[in-house]
Amino acid sequence: MKIAFDVSGTIEGPKRGYVLILLKLLQDAGHEIIVWSNSYGYTTDAVKKYDLKNVECMSKKTTWDCDNDESQFIDIAIDDDSSQTWLASKRFIWVSDLPETVEGIKKLATEIGSAT
């Protein structure tokens, strides 16, 4: 599954620790991790800052960038801005909805993994 993590407000937001744990758990489970942002430079800076390995950096894609072809969409986007439903993602998980415990993050990672 392709899972995109936003930078501003998400990887670099108030729940950063939980977001990074979720990213690592999903990556360890074999999912393809994408770090994306409206600014490509933010993605490369975040990858370096947090020493993220084996992730793809990408500028955010809209549904129109993919010609509304859902086969090209990201499977899940983790983002802080719930107004960005126009992004090319099949499902969104909003940072505000993330659990604030490590156990809760582990449970969420398991639920995401079992949805494949």
pLDDT given at position 115 = 64
Q: How confident is the model at residue 63 (pLDDT cuts 50, 70, 90)?
A: confident
Query: What is the average pLDDT across 52-71?
Result: 89
Q: How confident is the model at residue 61 (pLDDT cuts 50, 70, 90)?
A: confident
Range of the domain at 63: 2-114
Number of domains in the chain: 1
pLDDT of residue 71: 86
116, pLDDT greater than 60: no
Give CA separation, 32 vs 42, 67, 104, in Å. 19, 22, 21
> To the nearest whole percent, how much of the chain has pLDDT over 70?
98
The amino acid that residue 75 corresponds to is D
Tally Cβ neighbours within 10 Å of residue 25.
18
H or E element, residue 49: helix 40-49
CA atoms lying within 13 Å on the CB side of residue 102:
3
Q: How confident is the model at residue 114 (pLDDT cuts 50, 70, 90)?
A: confident
Region of residue 102 (phi > 0: left; psi between -120 and 50: alpha; otherwise: beta):
alpha
**CATH assignment at residue 27:** 3.40.50
Tokens describing residue 95: 């940072």
Entry field: residues in the chain: 116
**Whole-angstrom Cα distance, residue 54 to residue 62?**
24
